[in-house]
Amino acid sequence: MPQKQRPLIAAKIHPQQMQEVDQICQQTGKSRSQILQEAIALYLGKPEVNQVNQVGERVEALEEGMKAVNQQLTQLTQAIEDLTQKMGSKTPPELTELTNGLTQLTKQPVKSKPATPKQVTAQEDGEWMSSGEAFRYLGGDPNDLHTKVTSASGRTVGFRGFRKIQDLEEYKDFGLEYHFEQHGKLTKAKFRPIVR
């Protein structure tokens, strides 16, 4: 059975964008074609299965790394506490503070802080961003399905959820002004920071 050929797309892009694509290729070991296919799939809201699996594997590796760091911090805290007991009343207050700080650090889960829109200059105010750029501006990564951003009121959304917001007030809660452009049947959202 003959294999169905996939369509070929040609497009002109800004040289800086091409440099960024090439950097991603070097970092990931993927071809330009693979990177652009993944970007289109992400834009369409249909990430490929292997992308999701790779992200899941990266998250698992990070979680394992965090467990190892937490274990090392716990061992370090225990060693300092043992040293403090041996020294008795001669223990310097700095060492006691260090022990207390490490104990607090190993007992608290890592929390994500709400996104606080950065202060912008008047020049930045005029620049409109795509939804991906706006999500990145808020501290998220549109290429990572597990990345979430948090609004000033505490609402947390991933990139898909961010793109599906329909209410202008919700975008204002993220510190963004929203406007859309109609291109035939395609509606293109644009964002820019609200100057405070």
Distances in Å between the Cα of 110 and the Cα atoms of 1, 70, 161, 174 are 53, 11, 23, 22
> pLDDT per residue over 77-127, tens digit each?
777 777 777 777 777 777 777 777 776 666 655 444 444 444 333 334 457
Is-above-0.85 flag for pTM?
A: no
Distances in Å between the Cα of 94 and the Cα atoms of 101, 103, 137 are 10, 14, 39
Neighbours of 172 (CB within 10 A): 14
> pLDDT per residue over 33-70, tens digit each?
888 888 887 777 766 555 555 666 677 777 787 888 77
The C-alpha atoms of residue 118 and residue 120 are separated, in whole angstroms, by 6
- If you write DSSP's letter for every residue of 43-62 in order, what string do you get? HTT---HHHHHHHHHHHHHH
The C-alpha atoms of residue 177 and residue 92 are separated, in whole angstroms, by 53
